[in-house]
A and B are shown apart, each in its own frame.
Chain A
Amino acid sequence: MKRKGIVGIIAASALAISAALVPSAHAAPKTILVWADNDRGPQLKTLLDGNTTIAPGYVISVKFYSALDALQSAWDKATAAGGPDIMTGPASIATQGAASGKIVSLPFGAIVKSQIPGAAISAMSYRGKAYGMPTDLDTTGFITNTGLYTAGVPATMKDAVAWYLANKSAKGLTGGVCAVDGTWGTQGIITAFGGGAWKVKGSSIDASSTLFNSTSFKSNIKTYLLDSSGKSNGFFQWDNCGDAFKAGKIPFAITGAWNLDGFTKAGIKYSISSVPGSTATTNGAQWVNYSGAYVTSFAAQHGVALGAQKVVMNYLGSVDGQVAMYKASKRPPANINAIPLVTDPNTLGITKAGSTGMAQISPLLDDKAGGTNWYDTIAAAYTDIFVKGKDVSATLDAAAAIINKNFKDGSANL
């Protein structure tokens, strides 16, 4: 009897405590969980967290991670148990999420299509279906340190090289142009020298053969980017060079709105322009990508699919929503009706610079049927050419063979 009493006490105590702790399954309103990275998260938290009016009957909860990598890692492991109802992030999520069945397609109507650029919808499409609502423009501009280079903006990339070589020693320069965001950011530079991922024909692309080993690119590398020893002359920088730009040791950089505050805080005076091209009338074509919001397949399993779609389609894709996000993040909005409402000079500068860029198509660039994806392949080629001094033609041809395999395989997912 004594033991039964003890057990009874324990059971009662445990149940009493747990009853106070257990979340009620019937707690109202239903929660729509949004995931974001450290960049967009704080802004989304301010705009959306606790909101009950955007999707009446639901409450929005924003959870953000310490970095994009951390968000990606959590997303990789996400299941219906604990996974988000709305995922936010770069367009590459569309490819991976659609293939894995974690996000659902969004059949956009004519009104949405009239407000969101076709390139933006394409960036978030997989096998012809749109999977994400583009929210903002992820692109870069050509940043000139006007304290170092005082003659405006170089007319061509070749002029920039010439100026760098002429002033390298006198000004203590450690580089000419810095792709602050790594290999992704080099697209504007290599296209200015005749390279790049694929040919662009009007509004369509030709990915049947990459430009990465084009004759003009090979020739221009040898002429403008290598020194007499066959290694880099220092102009082209892509690996952790951002600090050198902030230190005033590199006159030009290619990056987006997210780094401009850092430049200002470092005391750098700068201008933003389109990327100079190989001639005065052409431009380098940096990647133009979009970030977006995605409705996950978990939302239906959580019973909040309608609410999640409402938040994505009617708020995050709307002019009101995108203007609010632009004000918080300074990123250019994707909705073309929101662009005229942009007033921040840096945002306007990047938006204008982006007009000469080219669409970043993740199913092609992320494919690794050839062994490694576009970014890893070109990074290895850069190292071989500029650091190790390997033969330019052979290296670019080897890289192009891999890239062409990737593009052929990835084209099936466009």
Chain B
Amino acid sequence: MRQYYLQVFSKLAGFTGLPAQIAKVAFMAIIDALLITMFFAALHKHAGSLELVIAAVLLITNFVYFAKFTLPFKFLIPGLLLLVVFVVVPVAYTIQMSVFNYKTGNEVTKQEAIVQLVRNGLAPDSAGTTYDMVLGKVEGKYAALLTNQTDQSVTLVNTDKVFPVSDSSITRDSYKIARTAPGFTPLTEAEVVAADSIISGLKFPITKTTFAQPQSADVAGLLTQSISYDAGKDQVSDLSTGEIYKDNGNGNFADPKHPDRILQPGWKSFSGIHNYTALLSDPEVRGPFIGIFIWTTLFAFLSVALMFAIGLLLAITLNRKIALRRFYRSVLILPYAIPSFMSILVWKGIFNTQYGAFNALFHTNIDFYNNTWLARGIIILVNLWLGFPYFYLISSGALQSIPSELEEAAALDGANPSQVLRRIKLPLIFQILSPLLIASFAFNFNNFNIIYLLTNGGPAPIGKVAGSTDILITYTYKTAFGSNIQNLGLACAISVVIFAVVGSVSIWGLRRSKVLDVI
């Protein structure tokens, strides 16, 4: 059997022997080189788990193409890998993020948030003192030779203490910046650059409450620290007010006495099913969500139903021998041949209140885009225009695939054309086209382009993000990216709901049509 497969493979490839081996080795060498390059690049950029994924792909690919018992996988593995990368991983990531408090202000890790809180707790001293700084070492520790930019006074300090320096013991350059001092060994430029990560976090104590911190390689500021973090108690203290902030379990340090008083930034934190329950319990989310869900379903259903009805009607009409049939067929597929975004923009212009062709032709002043039902009607109309040629084509194909014997037999049994259509052709067409109808429903359920380009979800009432023509996918987009304040976790939860609805409808439809049984 294996030999048979090998022969089939060889015939399919049409390429055997040593040249094939050389080509295979060369091909795999290139693939391996690319994957190894990507692996090191990911490693270099600290891209998290990406390097592990690349390493896994590298190992799997080589195993499949060099093991003898994995022949079927040689055909399947490219598709499977792409499926994993472009479908499984995004879906899994979306599901994962939907159970996190992940929004503007809660985007980084807790550790990163703590670093930022402490870093942002730095404040300049009351005089705003800044220094020209020469970095070096004193007594083996990092040190700074500081020249006050205002009064040119000089301070020598390492990370432990200040060293006394007299003006006569230092040398200054032409800008009066101190360059050398006794016991001070300046760092070279290369040493400073190499130690950037360390030096940028150094604190050189000047007084009990102030310290100089490098603000670049040659400037330092005199700062105070107003925020501190106690790792043991996992709490943040505001040193200026004495207020304590504790982890509120929702991705922020908050004042226990005033839970609304939170510190920013917060972090991405696990929130369980909160984003899902918000869809039904939070009035700010629930209201638009339910309305949009109903409109999305209606839009997808009406679009498919109308497109199919008109496509089928035209297919039946043009399936008969009528004059100019070829011409009509060619004309009917034109809307399908034009890029949809162009068509949408043309239609958008036609219904423009001020400059549109519709109002100009009929001498009306109809405000199509600011009336909920007119805007929805236009969306259905434009979608119908874009989609009916497809249904005309597939309906024509389905009609022509029905054996003429069935029609002839029915006619012999006394069936009239209407009965033939209703009792024979339509059931068969539905059977053939069910998967395409379901796919079209799924497509229209997520038809982002037509909504975004035609109405951008509007009209929206004052104070509402969701517009009257928004469907779930555009609402998700607005929630995630619509403004500077984004709620990515909630958007992921809505995406998961869309996925579940479309998946369920597809499975239900496919099972009812038994099309998979036929396959």
User: Is the C-beta of B186 less than 8 angstroms from some C-beta in chain A?
Assistant: no
Q: How far is the CA of A295 from the CA of B106 in the complex (A)?
A: 19
The smallest C-beta distance from B104 to any residue of chain A, in angstroms, reads 6
Task: Given A99-B264, A314-B216, A373-B483, check contact A58 B193 (CB 8 Å).
Answer: yes
Contact B197 A300 (CB under 8 A): yes
- Once the chains bind, are B127 and A110 in contact (CB under 8 Å)? yes
Q: Does A387 contact B (CB under 8 A)?
A: yes
CA distance A25 to B46 in the complex (A): 12
Tell whether, in the assembled complex, residue A398 and residue B463 are in contact, meaning their CB atoms are under 8 Å apart: yes
Contact of A96 among B104, B189, B222 (CB under 8 A): B104
> Are A99 and B129 within 8 A (Cβ)?
no
Complexed CA–CA distance, A129 and B66 (Å): 60
A108: B residues at CB distance < 8 A: 124, 128
Given A110-B128, A371-B464 in contact, is the A57-B189 Cβ separation under 8 Å? yes
Q: In the bound complex, do residue A11 and residue B32 qualify as a contact, i.e. CB atoms below 8 Å apart?
A: yes
Binds A, one of B74-82, B114-122, B292-300, B496-504: B114-122
A307:B25 contact, CB within 8 angstroms: no
Give Cα A313–Cα B130 distance, bound, in whole angstroms.
12
Contact B463 A371 (CB under 8 A): yes
Q: Contact string, A33-56, partner B, CB cutoff 8 A, digits 1/0?
A: 000000000000000000000011
Q: Which of B33, B112, B120, B485 contacts A14 (CB 8 A)?
A: B33
**8 Å CB interface, A163-218 against B:** 174
Q: A357 to nearest B CB, angstroms?
A: 21
Q: Say yes or no: is B37 at the interface (Cβ < 8 Å to chain A).
A: yes
**Given A110-B127, A129-B120, A376-B483, A313–B216 Cβ distance below 8 Å?**
yes
User: Nearest chain B CB to A61's CB is how many angstroms away?
Assistant: 15
In the complex, are the beta carbons of A309 and B485 less than 8 A apart? no
Does B513 sit within 8 A of A, measured CB to CB?
A: no
At the interface, yes or no: B506 with Cβ under 8 Å from chain A? no
Contact, CB under 8 Å: B462 / A111: no
Interface with B: A76-84, A145-153, A269-277, A343-351, which one? A76-84
Q: Is the CB of A395 within 8 A of B104?
A: no
Residues of A within 8 A of B47 (CB): 81-82
Complex-state Cα separation, A108 to B130, whole angstroms: 9
The answer, yes or no, to whether A356 is at the interface (CB within 8 Å) is no
Complexed CA–CA distance, A73 and B26 (Å): 39
- Cβ distance B54 to chain A, nearest Cβ, rounded Å: 12
1/0 per residue A354-370: CB within 8 Å of B? 00000000100011101
Q: Is the CB of B197 within 8 A of A309?
A: no
Cα A181 to Cα B232 with chains together (Å): 52
> Interface-forming stretch among A136-144, A256-264, A333-341, A377-385?
A377-385
A124 to chain B, nearest CB (A): 14
Bound CA–CA A39/B138 (angstroms)? 47
CB-CB under 8 A for A56 and B189, given A82-B45, A303-B197: yes
Contact B104 A100 (CB under 8 A): yes
Q: A17-B29, A96-B484, A306-B192 are in contact. Are A370 and B124 (CB under 8 A)?
A: no
**Interface residues of B, CB < 8 Å — how many?**
79
Question: Taking the nearest CB of chain A, how far is it from the CB of B10, in angstroms?
Answer: 18
Q: In the bound complex, what is the Cα–Cα distance between A368 and B307 (angstroms)?
A: 39
Main secondary structure of the interface of B (DSSP, over half): mixed
CA distance A376 to B218 in the complex (A): 45
Could you say which of A14, A25, A104 contacts B116, with CB atoms under 8 Å apart?
Answer: A104
Q: Once the chains are docked, how many angstroms separate the CA of A2 from the CA of B127?
A: 77
> Is the pair A109, B116 in contact by a Cβ cutoff of 8 Å?
no
**A22 and B120: CB pair below 8 A?**
no
Does any Cβ of A come within 8 Å of B453's Cβ?
A: no
- B459 close to A57 (CB less than 8 A): no
Cβ of A398 to closest chain B Cβ, rounded Å: 5
Contacts of B129 in A (CB 8 A): 109-110
- By the criterion CB–CB under 8 Å, are B462 and A57 in contact? no
- Is the beta-carbon distance between B483 and A306 smaller than 8 angstroms? no
- The smallest beta-carbon distance between A106 and chain B, in angstroms, is 8
Q: Is B214 an interface residue (CB 8 A)?
A: yes
Complex Cα distance A201/B112, Å?
A: 39
Using a Cβ–Cβ cut-off of 8 Å, how many residues does chain A contribute to the interface with B? 83
Q: Are B44 and A380 in contact (CB under 8 A)?
A: no
Task: Determine whether the beta carbon of A306 is less than 8 Å from that of B196.
Answer: yes
The reply to whether the CB of A372 lies closer than 8 angstroms to some CB of chain B is yes
**In residues 302-317 of chain A, which contact B (Cβ within 8 Å)?**
303-307, 309-310, 313-314
For A129, the chain B residues whose CB sits under 8 A away are 120, 123
Contact of A99 among B104, B216, B483 (CB under 8 A): B104
**A102 CB-CB contact with B under 8 Å:** yes
Query: Are the C-beta atoms of A98 and B120 separated by less than 8 Å?
Result: yes
* B-chain residues with CB within 8 Å of residue A14 when the two chains form the complex: 28-29, 32-33, 35-36
Task: Tell me the chain A residues, 1-38 only, with Cβ under 8 Å from chain B.
Answer: 3, 6-7, 9-11, 13-18, 21-23, 25, 29-30
Provide the residues of chain A in CB contact with B62, threshold 8 Å: 10
B460 on the A face (CB < 8 A): yes
Residues of A within 8 A of B367 (CB): 387-388
Asked if B150 lies at the interface with its beta carbon under 8 angstroms from chain A, I say yes
List residues 60-77 of chain B with CB under 8 A from any CB of chain A: 62, 66
Closest to B288 in A: A371
Q: Are A6 and B124 in contact (CB under 8 A)?
A: no
Q: Does A399 contact B (CB under 8 A)?
A: yes
Interchain CA distance A380-B89 in the complex, whole Å: 39
Tell me the complex Cα distance, A76–B485, Å: 10
By the criterion CB–CB under 8 Å, are B25 and A6 in contact? yes
Q: How far in angstroms is the closest Cβ of chain B from A57?
A: 4
Cβ of A402 within 8 Å of any chain B Cβ, yes or no, is: yes
Residue B107 at the A interface, CB < 8 A? yes
Could you tell me the distance between the alpha carbons of A168 and B23 in the complex, rounded to whole angstroms? Answer: 75
Q: Is A127 engaged at the interface, CB distance under 8 Å to the other chain? A: yes
Instruction: Collect the chain A residues with CB atoms within 8 Å of residue B434's CB.
Output: none
The 30 sampled A-B contact pairs (Cβ below 8 Å) are A10-B29, A13-B26, A14-B28, A17-B29, A18-B37, A22-B37, A30-B196, A57-B193, A73-B481, A81-B42, A98-B264, A100-B107, A100-B108, A101-B108, A101-B116, A106-B215, A107-B123, A109-B128, A109-B129, A109-B130, A109-B222, A297-B112, A307-B217, A309-B215, A368-B485, A373-B484, A373-B485, A395-B462, A401-B463, A402-B463
10 additional A-B residue pairs with CB within 8 Å, beyond A110-B128, A371-B463: A10-B28, A11-B32, A22-B44, A96-B484, A111-B128, A126-B264, A366-B485, A370-B463, A381-B462, A387-B353
Give 3 closest A-B pairs by Cβ, nearest first. Answer: A110-B128, A101-B265, A14-B32
